[in-house]
Amino acid sequence: NAQGKDISYNFFVDNFDVDDSVDLGGIPQYRAVLAALSNYRVMPVLAFDRHPDHNVAALDFVKSRPGTDVGIRLQMVDIESYNLTKSNLQALWADLAVAKPQTVILLIDLRIIEDPADAKRKVERFVASFQGDFPGAKVVVSGSVVPASIAGLLPTNSTAHIPREEYKLWRALSSTPDFKEVLFGDYGVVSPEYSDFEMEPEYISSRAAPKVFYTYSDSFFIARGRRFKTHKFRQ
């Protein structure tokens, strides 16, 4: 798409939430996605336990685009033990030495944060070791407290103030000298477990209710209304 030439900023592209069984004309899915976005300033994402062609496609993209940055996406299971993950990272680094990206960015994706203190300890322990073994790479930490269903935070016809544990974790992390360069990755108000709502349009008003998120300081203010069908659209 020629419009891509008007986009001046870089952005990561991953297919984490798309099932590998989705077929794109016989072309491996992530390779097809990167090809479709080749006119944009895309930063591909490497990861573990993906389709066999995923990392190969990402590295091929970097090789074809000198000066491209690349991300490495880790989840909570990957940061449980640095020693176990280190060998996988070393294998990626060997491939990266050939692909020659401009910058490598480690994306620590905590997804839903259920135990903030435990998550902080694991991130600190992992990042301290990572920075010692892989100097020059950047680190981003992201996560959220927003579940897949907003009902997990508050019932209908109510309001709530919810701590943004991911922001508090990052702020505590970056306030210490060893981690002051760690960057904040923000899910905003979209849950990491987001999925498209599949329902016939005529049934949506009987199930859906309005909601508003407002971010202030290190909290969310959330207001949730009642079903559109019974309480209409002027709530």
pLDDT digit string (tens) for 39-51? 999 999 999 999 9
Report pLDDT for 1: 47
Cα distance between residue 13 and residue 54, in whole Å:
12
* Helix (H) / strand (E) containing 158: strand 158-163
Query: What range does the domain containing 70 cover?
Result: 2-147+164-187
Assess if residue 140 is contained within a domain: yes
Nearest CA to 179 among 218, 123, 228, 235? 123
Does residue 157 fall inside a structural domain?
no
Residues lower than pLDDT 70 in the chain: 1-5, 195-197, 199-200, 202-207
In a domain, 230, yes or no: no
Phi and psi at residue 144, in whole multiples of 5°? Answer: -165, 160
Tens-place pLDDT, residues 196-235: 667 667 666 666 788 899 999 899 999 999 887 777 777 8
Q: 32: which residues sit within 8 A by CB, 6+ positions away?
A: 24, 25
Instruction: Tell whether 216 is covered by a domain.
Output: no
On whether residue 74 sits in a domain, the answer given is: yes
| Number of independent structural domains in the chain | 1
Closest C-alpha to 40, from 12, 79, 20, 77: 12
Say which CATH number the domain at 133 has: 3.20.20.20
- Is 193 within a domain? no
> Is 154 contained in some domain?
no
Does residue 172 belong to any structural domain of this protein? yes
